Structure formats: C-alpha cells, structure tokens
Amino acid sequence: MRDRLLQRWVETLETNLSQEVKVACYLSAEFLMGPQLENNLVNLGIQTEAREAAQALGKGLDDILAHEKEPGLGNGGPLPENFS
C-alpha cells in the first residue's frame, strides 16, 4: 500500500511541477512538541544547527525540548498524578 501511495504522490508532484501549480504546505504541530521535535531534529541531522539557533536567541534547546511533555494518545494528555 505504501509503495502505491508513494507512486501516486510522486506522479502528483511531477504533474504539479510541470504545470507550475501553486501548492500550500503546512507544518503539523506533531513536529513541534518536545519529544517529537527532538526526534525530528536528530532524524533530519539538524540538531546541532537547532541548538546553535536557539543559543543565538538566548534560549537553550534542552529547555525548549523539556517545555512540553509527551502528550497522551488522542485523549488530551497524561492523567494527573492523583488520578485513580
């Protein structure tokens, strides 16, 4: 299934490029939350650059990554500690 979807995506991209079609893109919030952000920075090979950019802005990348905890899976987040 993935291969077929990818094939169609490539065909669509080639069509759009050949016809100079405007395409709107967005960055999903899932890339911005601490744990996912760190994984994506590592996977993209830009963790060092992100660390330097944060430092240039007077921020620490580790502080940014720790700011938002891991969200729950579709239920609004983890349960409070005193939840029973």
pLDDT tens figures, 11-31: 988 998 899 888 777 766 655
pLDDT tens digit string along 30-62? 556 767 788 888 888 889 998 999 999 999 999
Q: Where are the domains of the chain?
A: 26-71
Do residues 66 and 35 lie in contact, with contact meaning Cβ atoms separated by under 8 Å? no
CA 82 to CA 31: how far, in whole Å?
A: 30
